[in-house]
Amino acid sequence: MKKRIINLILIFVLIVLGGILLWRYTPICANYYYNKGKLLYDAGNYNEAVSMFEQATNINPDNAAYTHFYVASLTKVEPTYFVQEKLYNISRSNAEYSAKSLAKSYVSNLRNEFLEGLEDNYIVRAVATSEIIHWNLEDFPIKVYIQKNDSIPDYYCKMVRSALKEWEKRSGFISFSEVKSESESNISVVFKDTPKGNCDKNGCPYVVATTEHNVSNKNVLEKMVISFFKTNPYGDDFLSNEIYHTALHELGHALGIMGHSDSSSDIMYSNNYKIYDLFAAYRPKLMDISQRDINTLTLLYKIYPTITNSKIKNKEKYIYGPIVIGNDDSVLQAKLIELKKYINKYPQISAGYINISAIYEQLGEYEEAVENLKKAYEFAKTPDEYFLIEYNYAIISFNSQKFEQAKEHVQKALSYREDKDVRKLLEDIDKIMSEIDKH
């Protein structure tokens, strides 16, 4: 009898526990998190709202209001690495329209912010592969070993040291310290015998130095090794400025610029470059570090590295790489240039302004987008043109969270013609507005 009671109690407890566990995944629970998030959001507690909306969207990823407010709250908190990564991924996902476009325009603004003052760069070529490699800023100075070698002229090492100083001075954030043994170094500079027998009737391949990176199978950057040849292929010593300019270039690689610049005025330019080729021969062109080199390096060190030498403690202050390396925006910018040419040629055709406005909208530059829509309206003639103008106004209002206004434009658009994307937008707006009215 007693045993039976205990069994019954056990079963009861299990049912209750199971109920609690399952409840966490039910729509009621999702709505509970959403409502709690909404209260926090309205009160301006965005950080807490983020985690509530996140739980709601985890349970029900297809709910337009959940994702919309999840994204909206993410755009209101500090853009940490975590926030950037979430928004970037939503902007690329199949999330419903409003959340996706809001994330997209926010990411685009963030990108402009990150690039401010560093716009002139070759970061896409510099990283070249999917990996971001650089030394951990928290472990600076970078330790450099310069091999002592009696069979080379004194000025070789002197020139390498000048090149180290130049990178420090020009970058304003790189710092090196020289160490006595190769084993404790991050970057080591060594001098090797020049290979013989590489010459043919056209001459000899002229190589001053190469750089190799050693990365462990756990993606830890162990060392960068810059190897200078002791002489040129004809057996003569290199000139001091050949050593200096080559050292500048190879140090750029050793700092993490794995690829090459496409402009001959940068130290990281290589006329025989292949994007991935760190081992490419380098014929010095007596170039100095350019502002573009510095912009690229500065940007590189702001991006969270996928390969570095030690554990990074403060990940959240870094840029999520794809935001600045992803090339969506550069494609849009190129389109913008083309469209501006079109407008100059046909300044009285509405379509040109509509298209430009759509690009500005995708770039998150709403004011410019609206200016162009006004122009488009001025020259519009056909119902199709009016439809597109209203549709674009609706999207801009929606992304600015002006839902009433968005709805008006959607209805005007639908008065010109029926369209299923616009219908879908109207549904989203109604859903969100009804959710807002609840509070």
Positions that interact with Zn ion (CB under 5 A): 270, 282
Least distance (Å) between residue 209 CB and Zn ion: 9
Answer whether the bond into residue 141 is a cis peptide, omega within 30°: yes
By C-beta, is 244 or 387 nearer to Zn ion?
Answer: 244
The tokens describing 360, both together, are 């500005």
CA distance 315 to 310: 12
Number of neighbouring beta carbons within 10 Å of residue 128: 19
> In Å, how far are 115, 165, 363 from 110, measured between CA atoms?
9, 33, 10
CA distance 73 to 51: 9
By C-beta, is 135 or 304 nearer to Zn ion?
Answer: 135
> In Å, how far are 320, 378, 399 from 68, measured between CA atoms?
22, 33, 10
Least distance (Å) between residue 246 CB and Zn ion: 9
Least distance (Å) between residue 287 CB and Zn ion: 12
By C-beta, is 251 or 414 nearer to Zn ion?
Answer: 251
Least distance (Å) between residue 166 CB and Zn ion: 17
Is 361 in contact with 102 (CB distance < 8 Å)? no
Least distance (Å) between residue 439 CB and Zn ion: 59
Least distance (Å) between residue 224 CB and Zn ion: 12
Q: Return the ∠ at Cα 265 (arms to 259 and 270), rounded to 5°.
A: 35
By C-beta, is 110 or 187 nearer to Zn ion?
Answer: 187
By C-beta, is 123 or 425 nearer to Zn ion?
Answer: 123
CA distance 34 to 72: 13
- 3-class state of residue 371 by DSSP: helix
By C-beta, is 60 or 270 nearer to Zn ion?
Answer: 270
